[in-house]
Structure 1
Amino acid sequence: MGLQEKNYFLASGESLLCDQQERFLFSEVELEPLDVEISFDLPEVSNKSYRIAVLNNKGKHLSLKALDLRSALSQTDNEDEFSILSAAAQVVTWHASFKYCPRCATELIMDEADLAKVCPSCGHHQYPRLSPCIIVLVRKDDKCLLAHSSKFKSGRYSTLAGFIEAGESAEHAVEREVMEEVGIMVKNIEYVCSQSWPFPHSFMLGFMADYSGGDITPDGEEIISADWFGIDELPTIPPQFTISRQLIDRFIEER
């Protein structure tokens, strides 16, 4: 497939760009008057090819602005669009964050074959960063555990989540995070699905688990409040594009 047939994302710094109509995919022709620092391929999605062009400035011929990524993701129920938006955002963050070799401080250059940067001095390869995380919905009879985080808007509740630490399994991370955040034990941990989450480069592994013991005790730092909710008494929950909502919807379907 030729370059002229590919759709382009535009970026500046760590931000994806859009026009005044919130359009975030551009043609190769629209790139011609812009000052492009570098461009590279993104992973294919459903046999469609995409590229991302990082600009040295925001251009003189297009009225561009930073894309509100959360808003853009929340407005799509298309899995392919979510996937490519997430990929573009994570690659932009990686490109802006890794300019120099972490081993010898030489300026990195793009690898000719892979989506990677290589050090021309020591040969170190730097790939886009992914941070594995778990996210889990805990069940107790006909209710599920939802929590309000200090990072959430007022009234918003969601599932529990956290990063996987070096050397531990995803299942152990589920047990540890639930205990650390709300003080309860879980059992029957079951993997459900995964999702790339570009804030800034998380890879979410989604689980369901059953309550095993203990009393809910929010840690008071990450989790402000938490409780058991039946399907007829759910608080404000995350939008449908999120993996947390997928887990909640699965619980609702089971009931």
Structure 2
Amino acid sequence: MLQKLHFIFSNNRLLVPKDSNLSASLEKLQQINVDDFSNYLSQGLKITESTYGEHILIDMQKEQFVSDDYHMLSLREALGMLSIEEFAHVAQAWQYAIFLRHHKYCGRCGSGMQQVQWEMAMHCHRCQHRVYPRVSPCIIVSVRKGDKILLAQGVRHQSSGFFSTLAGFVESAESLETAVHREVKEEVGIDVKNIEYFGSQPWPFPHSLMVGYLADYAGGDLVLEEKEILSADWFDIDDLPNIPPKLSIAGRLIEETVKRIRQEKAN
């Protein structure tokens, strides 16, 4: 019999067995006793398959679930426990849950929508409008100036205390590279050059695709967009502030920039 992973969300948190923090792997989600969720089994939705077996999504939406046998993890807590590959399964389930929550009704004519059985989509049989899960592309860029790296603290991330790389959403009719130039200029007032693609990462907060770049300083003084940026400066690689972990693309961009600076210093 094919094993099943049950991704059960209550509000915006993932339910896991109380004796597990997922740090080993997602196999702990195979231990969920689905009888505890009998009122919701009819809503269970197969969303994909992996080496674990079938992935089943059960979304309790805003209902609070209290049980001595389970506890709830935020997505950021799960991110800190799992590898990038493992977390991607949680991220996919959450993004599908958000998609289904937000598309019960047609945005064109207002009628109720039904889920398409053979793909992840919602369809309106009245006006034939069909929608798919939203993916919002964002650029994220590490900028260096000689042997220093530009790091900023965003207004939205004040509570975490992190200084990180610059990032922003790609606008309509804009290339990724154009977005890099615009976002850096808007947020800190400088120009960049030698833009180099680094990598990408799905980011379910709530439905982004982060596209990472490395770039060099090209000119200008730091002038901060106060609505977005609390603080920004050029940091010595041996005296960095509190930065994101390497499991995030921001952390890996910083790591790559530091590595390249060290290699150049060594030569």
In the superposition, the TM-score normalised over structure 2's length comes to 0.85
Provide the rounded CA distance (Å) in 2 between the counterparts of 1:60 and 1:189.
49
Name which of 72, 85, 109 aligns with 2:90: 85
Aligned match of 1:165: 171
Which consecutive unaligned segments of at least 5 residues does structure 1 have?
A: none
Provide the rounded CA distance (Å) in 2 between the counterparts of 1:108 and 1:28.
33
Name which of 100, 103, 107 aligns with 2:112: 107
In angstroms, what is the RMSD of aligned CA positions? 2.3
Matches within 5 A, 1:130-141: 130-141=135-146
Task: Using the TM superposition, give the Cα deviation of residue 17 of structure 1 relative to its aligned residue in structure 2, in angstroms.
Answer: 2.4
- Report the secondary structure of 2:183's partner residue: helix
Relative distance call for 1:185 and 1:29 in structure 2 (3 A) is: closer
Name which of 30, 33, 53 aligns with 1:30: 33
The amino acid that maps onto 2:116 is D
Deviating more after overlay: 174-183 vs 100-109: 100-109
Name which of 151, 162, 173 aligns with 1:156: 162
Indicate conservation of the 8 Å contact 1:155/1:235, yes or no.
no
% same residue: 41
Task: Using the TM superposition, give the Cα deviation of residue 245 of structure 1 relative to its aligned residue in structure 2, in angstroms.
Answer: 0.3
Aligned match of 2:184: 178
Which consecutive unaligned segments of at least 5 residues does structure 2 have?
A: 263-267
Provide the rounded CA distance (Å) in 1 between the counterparts of 2:194 and 2:51.
34
Indicate conservation of the 8 Å contact 1:19/1:62, yes or no.
no
Provide the rounded CA distance (Å) in 2 between the counterparts of 1:211 and 1:60.
52
Aligned match of 1:235: 241
Q: Is 1:203 aligned to residue 209 of structure 2?
A: yes
Higher helix proportion (structure 1 or 2): 2
- Report the secondary structure of 1:151's partner residue: helix
Provide the rounded CA distance (Å) in 2 between the counterparts of 1:201 and 1:70.
14
Indicate conservation of the 8 Å contact 1:117/1:126, yes or no.
yes
Provide the rounded CA distance (Å) in 2 between the counterparts of 1:195 and 1:43.
19
Matches within 5 A, 1:207-226: 207-226=213-232
Aligned match of 1:118: 123
Indicate conservation of the 8 Å contact 2:203/2:209, yes or no.
yes
Matches within 5 A, 1:9-24: 9-21=7-19, 22=21
